[in-house]
Amino acid sequence: MPLPHRARAAAMTALLVAGCLAASLPASAEPDLVPAAPSCIQPGPLLRYLVVFPQFTPAETADSEITEACGLTTVYYPQISVAVATSPDPGFLGRIGPQRAYSAQAESIAKRSVKRKKDDTELFRPSGVRSAEQWDMDLINAPAAHEITTGSKSVVVGVLDSGVDARHPDLAGALAPELSAGCLTGKPDTSPSAWAPTTSPHGTHVAGTIAAADDGRGTTGVAPGVRIASVKVVDDEGFIYPEYAVCGFMWAAAQQMTITNNSYFIDPYLFTCQSEPGQRVVYEAVRRAVDYATSSNVLTVAAAGNAAADLSRPGRDSMSPTNGEAQTRPVDSTCVVLPAQLKNVVGVSAVDSTKTKAGYSSYGLGAIDVTAPGGDSRSPNGCVLSTVPSGYDYSCGTSMATPHAAGVAALIASVHPEKDAVSLGRMLNAQAETLACPADYDLNRTGVQDAFCTGYSEYNSFYGHGLVDALAAVTK
């Protein structure tokens, strides 16, 4: 995804920000069947794990099992029976069970990775800044929609990302500090330093596309009248580990946010495969968190990714693990991009200024719900202009498309406050402008099609239900 994936600069202690484990325990397992742990040892390093318990496991039981396995509970989410724990004991995973827990941090150490997560966004410094340069807003009829409404302050969009600059003049009026939190331990931290951006402008760029002020200066967002919350789920190495995302979804639900914007895929696997023990844990933990958020009336909007992959028939994954040396591996229909391909998540692909699928954008019949402007450096108008901590910048990616969709959803929620999350997602699909499959998708003019669009005009693998439309969102 378009997040800065930097090389791991540091010694072993820098890896302590990683890690996650998640997996389900058989329903028949009872706490009294867990054997007493032998004496715990602490050779280090301290690793973080995400642990999945049977649904409805009491907090006391979960904490007891973690303690007996020589771990310490950081946080337990009883609503989904998922815990985040730490342990310096190398036997922790074996005692808890590899079918129940996973640590991306431990996997990174085992691979002795010095690789940084690749940044697949494109940034270009603009010569000037004004709303007239925002071709993306014109493409989805945002200025016309603003004549009717700019959105309601009762609508809150959680920006699950690398942090949002609270001092940016275009965002200061929209940001809700009291609803913001950092999730880099797996447990919400409400201190401002925990949710502020540090090494990446990505979250601030996303936030500006959603809600930058309509004040005649700088840039204007899709829904400048709504509020945003900064929920930091990207660490300083550019990774989004599962416990970060689980924390983000649970925090959004607890704060009764309306929508979350998720411009990322969950590391360390581009495709998380349910047939693999550790990855199955990750899938289950994230699925539970997203389902809980949906049941709490939080709509999840997520980027399809920049791998130019057919998500319905991925075939191979050559990008994983992102925190180690990537190996090409076969992937099947049980392997999905998280969170974009989960049920109740609105998956978003990207188009350029000509309403053509951007070459980098992933796609797939059944995986894409809507499309939105993500830009393309090869297209006539280039990338998308938005806010960054240093001012303004252009960037391309499905990360840029997703906040357009989230912003349109926020406008729908503003004029239809009675709608729940599922209804809001359906309305987002329904208002979209139909885009048919292109007759010719030879972007490089080589005589060979660069991708194959399947489906029909009203619903296809490139554009889903179509291009989000801000004006239709507030009038239909």
Q: What is the pLDDT along the chain (476 residues), one digit of tens a residue?
A: 444 443 333 332 222 222 233 333 333 333 333 334 458 888 878 999 999 999 999 999 999 999 999 999 999 999 999 999 999 999 999 999 999 999 988 887 766 544 556 555 554 445 455 666 899 999 999 999 999 999 999 999 999 999 999 999 999 999 999 999 999 999 999 999 999 999 999 999 999 999 999 998 899 999 999 999 999 999 999 999 999 999 999 999 999 999 999 999 999 999 999 999 899 999 999 999 999 999 999 999 999 999 999 999 999 999 999 998 899 999 998 999 999 999 999 999 999 999 999 999 999 999 999 999 999 988 888 999 999 998 999 999 999 999 999 999 999 999 999 999 999 999 999 999 999 999 999 998 899 998 999 999 999 999 999 999 999 999 98
Please tell me which residue in 5, 146, 168, 202 is annotated as part of the active site: 202
Please tell me which residue in 89, 120, 161, 267 is annotated as part of the active site: 161
pTM of the predicted model, to two decimals? 0.90
224 to each of 151, 170, 172, 212, 475, how far by Cα in Å? 7, 9, 11, 5, 17
Contact 206, 261 (CB under 8 A): yes
Please tell me which residue in 81, 152, 180, 399 is annotated as part of the active site: 399
Q: How far apart are CA 97 and CA 102, in angstroms?
A: 9
34 to each of 30, 68, 89, 91, how far by Cα in Å? 7, 8, 17, 14
Q: How far apart are CA 429 and CA 459, in angstroms?
A: 10
* Longest Cα–Cα distance in the chain: 68
Q: Which two tokens stand for residue 285?
A: 């933990």
- Domains identified in the chain and CATH numbers: 47-102 (3.30.70), 131-438+451-474 (3.40.50.200)
Known active-site residue 399: yes
Known active-site residue 202: yes
Residues listed for the chain: 476
Q: How far apart are CA 258 and CA 256, in angstroms?
A: 6
H and E: helices and strands count for the chain: 12, 20
What is the full DSSP assignment across 119-188? ---EEE--S---GGG-HHHHHTTHHHHHTT----TT-EEEEEES---TT-TTTTTTB-GGG-EE-TTSS-
The angle subtended at Cα 15 by Cα 13 and Cα 16, nearest 5°, is 75
pLDDT at position 109: 75
pLDDT at position 317: 95
Known active-site residue 161: yes
- Return the closest-CA partner of residue 173 out of 125, 236, 218: 218
